[in-house]
Every structure is written in structure tokens, then in C-alpha cells.
Amino acid sequence: MPKTRIALIRGDGIGPEVIDSTEEILSNLNLNLEFTHFEAGYKHMKKTGSQIEDETIEEIGRMDACLKGPTQTAFGTKTQRGVAPTIREKLDLYANLRPIKSRKGVKCLFPDTDLFIVRENTEGLYKGLEFKSGETAFGVRVITKSGSERIARFAFNLARKEKRRKVTAVHKANVLKETCGLFLNTCRRVAEEYPEIKFQDAIVDATALKLITKPEEFDVILTTNLFGDILSDECAGLIGGLGMTPSANIGDRTALFEPVHGSAPDIAGKKIANPSATILSSVLMLEYLGEIKSAKKLETALNQVLAEGRTVTPDIGGNAKTHEFTKAVLEKLHP
Ligand code: NAI
């Protein structure tokens, strides 16, 4: 049987710690996976002058999937674009999926939170079309009918697959009449193809408030790039923080999976990084690859470790090191 080829990017800061943990766990699932490591990120740029080379992205694009650790990004106009946005754009990974699910044992605002954020990943204000004229800076927001259509379809197909009752399109069409207007009208049209799923729309600022007062009102949130980026970090706060939140970037040919958190320079090297978000990203990867049973088994093992609370990292109230957490998950997988 041909091997399933997985690209791994360890990244910067705590990236190597959480990726090594997850690679060890995946290697113990008795799956036919073959891992290839690729270098990218800030450390790589210091050595080579580039955060990620075009050839690396092309090679990742030929793999079955990629699991990426966080990479450090420099701020400022003279700096290169980050690794994740570059890969997303070059491989056209247009759907960013973030499941927001509370887990027993992890302190969170609402214990029964269970929703998805589907964010358009290639358009909007993150297109990078910015320029300056004198003392004024401009940013161009790009929304297309085809881009809105495919992300809306992704969200409704997800709702159908996950047996969810409702999709909420989040926008600011009352102010951004052209861009959000096109997005919203396209979502409305796609919704007609899915009569069994309820469709509603909501303004982004009201949604930000409702997420921390009545998150149960949401099931699948469908939104544009910038709004999705902000709302999904807000949602990470609902379920125990950035250490707990996985993500997937999915295109028509391949997909990239990564924790939502960054390189956490404040704890890098201390060996206390929580690998949960990366392990959960690998669960999404296994589901994408059709390894549903292994995905379920891994998520259950992780949930057990979290629920027991004996071997968890400091960010979620324990005092375990990353390798001890990893060992605890492995013990649940192979008792
Ligand atoms: P961050 O997510 O790295 O850290 C925020 C806070 O959360 C810190 O206190 C950190 O210790 C904690 N934290 C994050 N992940 C954790 C984990 N797994 N376990 C325990 N604690 C964790 O955000 P920050 O500090 O704003 O960004 C640091 C760098 O990461 C920046 O260069 C930023 O651009 C980059 N970044 C990269 C991302 C990516 O590669 N996808 C995503 C977000 C940020």
C-alpha cells in the first residue's frame, strides 16, 4: 500500500516542541505515514534570507498533507510575508477551519461550547494590497463572487457532514456595502441549495459580543478573512486559550494543519508548551486523510488526559512538561 506522505514544518519558538510531540504520537498510531521535514520560518530566514522557498512550497503541495508548527513573523513594511499566509496563497488553501470545542478538565467560560468557524483564507484585507501616498496609507479589500461562493459551499458542506443545524454568515454589510454586500448576497444564494440547514446573518461587532454571552446561538460561523481571524482568537478564549485551539487550511488539492497559537517566545525552550492544539490539528489532518478511526482514538486519548488533569501543562493549570504530557497521551493510546 502506498504511504501517506506528510510534510512537517517544526517552525520557531515552541514549534519544534509541539511538532516533535505530535510526530511521536502519530508514529505510534500504526498508520502508513511517511514524514518529511521542511525548514521554514524566522530561524530559517536568518540562515538563508528567505522564510520559505518556492520549491519547498511546491514540494509540500505534492504531499498528502502538511502539519506546521508556529513560525515567528517580523512586523514592519520591510519584512517578508509570514510562512502561513504565503503557503495558503500559493497552494490556494482557501478554507480556514477552526473547531471551537470545550473539553472536560480544561477551565473555560462555557463548558458546552461546540462550534466551527469557517474563514475565507485568501481574500479580503489580507491580500496584502497596501500602499502609501504621502501621509496616507491605503489597504484594498478584495472580495470576489467565486471566492465567496466556494467558502460558503465549504461551510454548508461541513454543516451537512457534521449534522449541524445552522450556518451564520458574519459580515459588516451595513457599512462595507460593496465588499460585505457581495459576500452576504453570495452566501444567501448558496444557502438556497441547502434547504435543510438554517441560514442567518449577523453583524461582526454584535457577533463578537454574543460569542462571550451566548455562544450556544452559533453552530457554523461563515466569514471573511480578517473578521474570521479576530473572532477565532476570541473563540480560543472560550475554550481554555490558544494552547487548546487547532486549525485546518484546506484547498481542493491539499491541506495544511497548524495550531492557532504563535511561537510563544516567552516560554520557548522551557519545555512546558501545551501540545494539545497541535495534536488536535493532527486529528483534523487524520480526518481529512480519511483515517477516521485513528482520529477518534487520538482525540479520545487526549480528552482522557485532559479530563484527568494529572499530567497537563501550566497554561491549563498543571505542572507537567511537554514530554510528560506526550507520554500520558501515548499511554492512553496503548494502555
Ligand atoms: P503566541 O500565541 O505565541 O503567545 C500568546 C500567549 O499564549 C503567550 O503567553 C504564550 O506563552 C501562550 N501560548 C501560546 N501557545 C501556547 C502553548 N501551546 N502552550 C502554552 N502557552 C501558549 O502569540 P504572540 O506572542 O502574539 O506571537 C509570537 C510570535 O508568533 C509572533 O512572531 C507572531 O507573529 C507569531 N505567530 C505565528 C503564528 C503562526 O505561525 N501561525 C500565529 C500567531 C502568531
Active site residue 42: no
Residue 129 within any structural domain of the chain: no
Mutation pick for ligand 1 pocket among 44, 96, 263 (CB with most ligand atoms within 8 Å): 263
Cα dihedral 28, 31, 32, 38 sign: negative
Residue 79 binned pLDDT confidence (cut-offs 50, 70, 90): low
Residue 136 within any structural domain of the chain: no
104 and 5 assigned to the same domain: yes
Active site residue 198: no
| pLDDT for 73 | 83
154 and 75 assigned to the same domain: no
Residue 62 binned pLDDT confidence (cut-offs 50, 70, 90): very high
2 and 92 assigned to the same domain: yes
Domain that holds residue 218: 142-238
pLDDT for residue 77 is more than 80: no
The percent of residues in the chain predicted with pLDDT above 90, rounded, is 89
Mutation pick for ligand 1 pocket among 86, 229, 261, 306 (CB with most ligand atoms within 8 Å): 261
Residue 113 within any structural domain of the chain: no
197 and 252 assigned to the same domain: no
| pLDDT for 204 | 98
Average pLDDT over residues 292-311: 97
146 and 45 assigned to the same domain: no
| pLDDT for 76 | 58
Domain count, the chain: 2
Which atom of ligand 1 lies at the shortest distance from residue 258's CA? 41
Residue 135 within any structural domain of the chain: no
pLDDT for residue 334 is more than 90: no
pLDDT per residue over 144-184, tens digit each? 999 999 999 999 999 999 999 999 999 999 999 999 999 99
d(CA 183, CA 220): 16
pLDDT for residue 235 is more than 80: yes
Active site residue 233: yes
7 and 103 assigned to the same domain: yes
pLDDT for residue 243 is more than 90: no
61 and 100 assigned to the same domain: yes
Residue 335 binned pLDDT confidence (cut-offs 50, 70, 90): confident
* CA dist 104 → 303, 306, 316 (Å): 7, 7, 12
The residues near 214 (Cβ < 8 Å, ≥ 6 apart) are none
Q: What does the mean pLDDT of the chain come to?
A: 95
Which atom of ligand 1 lies at the shortest distance from residue 259's CA? 41
Of 238, 260, 276, the domain-final residue: 238
d(CA 136, CA 263): 32
| pLDDT for 240 | 84
* CA dist 323 → 17, 191, 261, 316 (Å): 9, 46, 19, 16
d(CA 205, CA 210): 9
CATH code of 299's domain: 3.40.718.10
Residue 114 within any structural domain of the chain: no
| pLDDT for 75 | 65
pLDDT per residue over 101-144, tens digit each? 999 999 888 889 999 999 999 999 988 899 999 999 999 999 99
The C-alpha torsion from 142 through 143 and 147 to 153, rounded to 10°, is: 150
Are 238 and 109 spatial neighbours (Cβ–Cβ below 8 Å)?
A: yes
Active site residue 172: yes
pLDDT for residue 313 is more than 70: yes
pTM of the model: 0.94
290 and 253 assigned to the same domain: yes
From ligand 1's centre to the CA of 262, what distance in Å?
3
Residue 46 within any structural domain of the chain: yes
pLDDT for residue 251 is more than 60: yes
229 and 260 assigned to the same domain: no
pLDDT, greater one: 67 or 107 = 67
Of 186, 208, 238, the domain-final residue: 238
Of 238, 259, 291, the domain-final residue: 238
CATH code of 210's domain: 3.40.50.2300
